[in-house]
Amino acid sequence: MFVFRESYYLKNKEPRPATVEHAEWQAKMNEISHLAELLILKQRHGPTGTIMLEFEEMFTKFKDIQNN
């Protein structure tokens, strides 16, 4: 099992403020900052796959995504 959070890597690539690139980066961060992927890549007697989770960074908490 592996956990992947795109926002963890994207935050290190922040462009210069007050540029178009920064606005696009900020929009992307707002979109993905609360998401995580749980990657099940090997399992002896079961399926493999990806599970999307909600991530609360303040508490380092993962939970099911709530559908509204």
Domain containing residue 35:
2-64
SS3 of residue 51 by DSSP:
strand
pTM of the model: 0.80
Tokens at 25, concatenated: 């980066």
Amino acid residing at 45: H
- pLDDT score, position 68: 56
SS3 of residue 31 by DSSP:
helix
Tokens at 3, concatenated: 């956990």
Tokens at 9, concatenated: 């890597």
Are 28 and 6 in contact, with CB atoms under 8 Å apart? no
Binned at pLDDT 50, 70 and 90, residue 66 comes out as confident
- pLDDT score, position 67: 73
Q: Number of structural domains, the chain?
A: 1
Q: Tell me the pLDDT tens digit for each residue of 3-62.
A: 999 999 999 999 999 999 999 999 999 999 999 999 999 989 999 999 999 999 999 999
Are 52 and 65 in contact, with CB atoms under 8 Å apart? yes
